[in-house]
């Protein structure tokens, strides 16, 4: 790779051990993917924050980097394994909480903003069109590339941290103009509404892409989509298909920048959607846990939950997972009081997938296709997908 004098200095250790280690990680990555140079990044999102995933080995790496590492660009964190202020109420044990805090402390020492959310674009790590990023977290990567038109590869935890410390990432993959055009056309011949349905669509497209080499779908036939619907779609298509970028006709900013694919075409009808939805509903599911906010809930979703829960009581464990700044907005608007009076719990900074709750519940109901995937695969729950209204009905019946 062709490095600038500053990048060479970092690699040679002149900027300290963490910068050197970071540059080693990035140049290795660049060599593997045949990048010719580095590109400057505007912001970083780091995943792999839960102590449940990192363990002592991961924490040791972080502590080593934190000895002399400081981030150069705006950097935020993915959800941790617990609500940092309310972990006892969510049944997290003290030992885990202590270790999770050691992880957060190591990130904070490096100057990282410890907001712990998978929707950094809602809380200030908000890039604009065309900016280069180094984001981990598949749903956020997909949102940044597709909905915002920023440019990022799907980073792992160590490479994202390396970019935060150096302010650079190797220039390959989705950073390059010629790797961003749609490859497979999906014509949607039926209406799609709500976060649950957009999640089902993401699963359907993701499953089809899973069998193909080509990963960038171009989707036509959707007249409109809200932020909430798009974030659900991003999470789902990234989970089921490994997709980091899609174009949606008349909706996403690069839809008319490249030619529409004309060789690989799939039509999606109501029957296809119904079939995909049925795959997200397990038989004999004894639901004892409801969770909304995958990806993390927006203030609009929380307002809706408050409206639906007003003067009701939940009869099952019910989490609303969101970023702490959004929770603070909900507090100020009076939504939190209504929700908590109904017996539901906020789980800020965390989510139903990264929290250490494997097998704690029998069955989960969610409005997110991604949460269905990990509810089964990681936490061994039976799952049921529904609309937000259906989730609340289940919780209060």
Q: Which residues here bind ligand F3S, judged by CB under 6 A? A: 78-79, 118, 139, 235, 294-296, 321, 351, 353-354, 370-371, 374
In angstroms, the CA 221 to CA 45 distance is 32
| Region class of 85: left (phi > 0), else alpha (psi between -120 and 50), else beta | alpha
Shortest gap between Cβ of 344 and ligand F3S (angstroms)? 16
What is the smallest separation between the CB atom of 181 and ligand F3S, expressed in angstroms?
Answer: 26
Which of residues 156 and 221 has its CB atom nearest to ligand F3S in the complex? 156
Least separation in angstroms between residue 113's CB and ligand F3S is 16
State which residue, 124 or 223, has the beta carbon closest to ligand F3S.
124
* Nearest partner of 388 among 199, 182, 214, judged by Cα: 199
Kindly state the smallest distance separating residue 78's Cβ from ligand F3S, in Å.
6
In angstroms, give the least distance from the CB of 189 to ligand F3S.
28
**Residue number with CB closer to ligand F3S (66 or 118):** 118
Shortest spacing between CB 93 and ligand F3S, in angstroms? 20
Among 287, 292, 314, 276, which Cα is nearest to 384's? 287
Q: Which is nearer to ligand F3S, 294 or 330 (CB)?
A: 294
Query: What is the smallest separation between the CB atom of 262 and ligand F3S, expressed in angstroms?
Result: 33
Question: Rounded to an integer, what distance in angstroms lies between the CA atom of residue 113 and that of residue 126?
Answer: 13
Nearer of residues 236 and 396 to ligand F3S, judged by Cβ: 236
Nearer to ligand F3S, 139 or 166 (CB): 139
Nearer to ligand F3S among residue 122 and residue 162 (C-beta): 122
- Least spacing, CB of residue 296 vs ligand F3S, in Å: 6
Q: Residue 50 contacts by C-beta under 8 Å, 6 or more apart in sequence?
A: 79, 80, 81, 100, 103, 350, 354, 355, 356
Distance in Å, CB of 396 to ligand F3S, minimum? 23
- The residue (of 166 and 321) whose beta carbon lies closer to ligand F3S is 321
> Which of residues 141 and 314 has its CB atom nearest to ligand F3S in the complex?
141
Instruction: Output the smallest distance, CB 238 to ligand F3S, in A.
Output: 9
Q: Specify the length of the chain in residues.
A: 397
| CB closer to ligand F3S, 229 vs 249 | 229
């Amino acid at each position: 790779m062709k490095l600038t004098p500053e990048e060479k200095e970092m690699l040679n250790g002149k900027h300290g051990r963490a910068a050197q280690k970071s540059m080693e990680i990035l140049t290795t990555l660049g060599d593997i993917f045949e990048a010719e140079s580095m590109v400057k990044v505007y912001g970083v999102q780091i995943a792999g924050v839960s102590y449940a995933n990192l363990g002592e080995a991961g924490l040791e790496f972080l502590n080593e980097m934190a000895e002399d590492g400081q981030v150069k660009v705006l950097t935020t964190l993915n959800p941790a394994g617990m609500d940092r202020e309310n972990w006892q109420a969510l049944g997290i044990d003290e030992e885990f909480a202590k270790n999770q805090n050691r992880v957060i402390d190591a990130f904070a020492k490096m100057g990282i903003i410890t907001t712990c959310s998978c929707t950094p674009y809602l809380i200030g790590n908000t890039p604009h069109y065309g900016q280069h990023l180094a984001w981990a977290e598949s749903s956020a990567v997909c949102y940044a590339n597709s909905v915002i038109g920023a440019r990022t590869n799907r980073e792992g935890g160590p490479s994202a941290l390396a970019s935060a410390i150096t302010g650079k990432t190797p220039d390959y993959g989705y950073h390059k103009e010629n790797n961003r055009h749609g490859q497979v056309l999906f014509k949607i011949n039926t209406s799609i509404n709500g976060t649950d349905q957009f999640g089902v669509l993401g699963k359907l497209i993701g499953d089809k892409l899973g069998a193909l080499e080509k990963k960038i779908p171009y989707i036509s036939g959707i007249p409109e989509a809200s932020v909430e619907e798009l974030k659900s779609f991003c999470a789902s298509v990234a989970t089921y298909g490994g997709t980091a970028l899609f174009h949606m006709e008349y909706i996403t900013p690069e839809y008319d920048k490249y030619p529409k694919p004309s060789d690989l075409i799939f039509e999606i009808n109501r029957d296809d959607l119904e079939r995909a939805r049925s795959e997200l509903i397990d038989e004999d599911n004894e639901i004892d846990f409801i969770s909304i906010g995958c990806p993390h809930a927006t203030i609009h979703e929380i307002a809706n939950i408050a409206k639906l829960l007003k003067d009701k009581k939940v009869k099952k464990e019910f989490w609303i997972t969101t970023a702490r700044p959004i929770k603070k907005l909900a507090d100020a608007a009076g939504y939190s009081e209504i929700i908590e009076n109904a017996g539901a719990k906020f789980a800020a900074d965390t989510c139903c997938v990264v929290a250490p709750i494997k097998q704690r519940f029998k069955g989960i109901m969610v409005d997110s296709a991604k949460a269905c995937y990990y509810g089964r695969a990681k936490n061994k729950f039976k799952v049921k997908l529904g609309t937000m209204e259906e989730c609340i009905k289940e919780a209060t019946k």
